Amino acid sequence: MARRLSPLDIAFLQMETPEAPSHVGGLQIFEIPAGYQGAFVADLKARLEAIPAGAPFNLKLNPKGLPFALPTWIPDNNFDIDFHLRHSALPAPGHMDALMKLVSRLHGRLLDRTRPLWEMYLIEGLEGNRFGIYTKIHHALVDGVGGMRLMDHSLSRTPDDQGMRALWSVEEIEKRARLKRSMTDGAIQTAKSLMGPLRSLPQAFKALTMPGKTEAALAFKTSKTVFNGHITASRRFAVHSLPLAEAKDIGSILGHTVNDMFLAICATALRRYLAEKGQTPGLPLTATVPVSIQVQGASKQGNQITYIAVNLCTDVDDPLERMSAIGRSAAAAKRDMAALTRSAVQTLAVVAQGAAALINHFHLSDYVKPPANLVLSNVPGPRETLYLMGAKVIGSYPMSILMDGQALNITLCSQGGRLDFGILGCRNAMPDIDVLARYVGEAFAELKSLAADKAPARPATKPRAKAKVPAQPKSKAAGPAVVTPKRAPRRSPAPAAVLQ
């Protein structure tokens, strides 16, 4: 039976161009188990390709029925796992730079619309007894949160679990019932699916351009930067990881959430990057932040997201004042969003994506400002360390979408005690994107230093009189005492932002 796409899913198909593919992806780095006997990556591929593919990974676009009906997914009766699951190798000695160049090239290529819209590459030869897996899936098929959950389900929680659960596993997908089957096809169903969004259009447009007396950022109120021009199909990718526990401790001392810190770290890094280029935007940078609107417990595939605009306050010099201002802007945007009906929230996503699609498809970035300077996404992942056939996940870096006028995307994934930054840019606009990744680390170090200055001092105590004890053999001196800062009261969690 054919399965319908939502209006937002269709928008991701319509906005796609050779310069701006509409797939999301991710790079995972694994540590091969010590003492493994055999060719690990080849053995992994042999086990994976034996697993049958289920929906949506065996579905392709149905070319029939257009333009009078919404496009649908239909089964690919000639599905070929060898086309979708591929084996690559890095040239010796297998530096990370070589891996970054490879996945940058892969991410810039369009998926084949005559086949199911996904590919996975097993990449061996990474130094340090490691290998990588790069996966890309069309955004019309799955959003970032859905993709992350699928990846999580394909991994195990212990190194001893040798069970194999592929991303495309029939058993896993049927068990979760991820796709909603369409009741009817054709023009009647098309009209019904669009009535709600059309009724909510005025409310959605008002929310996008006139958020009222709040500190929320306005869409299209931006200054152009080096990453707000035309894009090409060439990509550059850089990664950076931070310790999650340390970030939480710093946030509790400074009175901010990890999400506030993520936005502030990006703002500081961008300030430094633009200053190095001699650019001082007249207006503060703004970010489009995708937000999950999926109902808890729902299992629907496709896109369950909308967007808010956040002021990154890059005109504020003090880093703590900047982070506070960013937090207020994000909170105001979420309050404005909460005042909308669910239909209006969904329509807002279509309107925002539609505007970006027009700019992207007709290359209008020379004539109109982008909705925001860049996209910043925060994808929550599992807290546990994950494994694949005993290989430990040591990095999980998201790769998202670029559009004409928005040549930069930064997506964060929290997983296994890490904050993994995936920083994707257009090569023509940002050939030195690794510099921005370095500034992410420096921005975190700055917040860490400020938190250390604000941490409560350890109370002084009167030294006790030394007791007379027999002389003991000399031993190595103990390390310095570790002071665990007192946590501030936990703030209410914000809606989870998702991978664009």
Compute, in degrees rounded to 10, the torsion defined by CA atoms 19, 401, 417, 380.
-170
Which of these, 288, 431, 313, lies nearest to 373 by C-alpha position?
288
Six-digit token string for 176: 């979760």
In angstroms, the CA 61 to CA 72 distance is: 6
Q: Measure the N-to-C terminal CA separation of the chain; round to a whole number of Å.
A: 29
Which amino acid, residue 317?
Answer: D
Q: CB of 98 within 8 A of CB of 107?
A: no
Beta bridge partners of 27: 134, 397
In angstroms, the CA 441 to CA 348 distance is: 34
Six-digit token string for 304: 């369950």
- Do β-strands 59-61 and 387-388 pair in parallel, antiparallel, or remain unpaired? unpaired
Helices and strands, counts by H and E, the chain: 13, 15
Beta bridge partners of 236: 425
Six-digit token string for 244: 């999650």
Six-digit token string for 411: 């997506």
Six-digit token string for 24: 């999301």
Sheet with 130-138, side-by-side order of all strands: 85-89, 118-126, 130-138, 23-31, 391-399, 387-388
Distances (CA, A) of 213 to 18, 329, 395, 438, 461: 41, 12, 42, 37, 51
Catalytic status, residue 139: yes
Question: How many CB atoms neighbour CB 80 within 10 A?
Answer: 11
Q: Among residues 23, 138, 139, 240, which one is catalytic?
A: 139
- In degrees and rounded to multiples of 5, residue 194 shows phi and psi of -100, -10
| Tally of CA atoms within 13 A in the half-sphere of 290 that contains its CB | 27
Sheet with 72-75, side-by-side order of all strands: 3-4, 72-75, 59-61
Which are the catalytic amino acids?
139
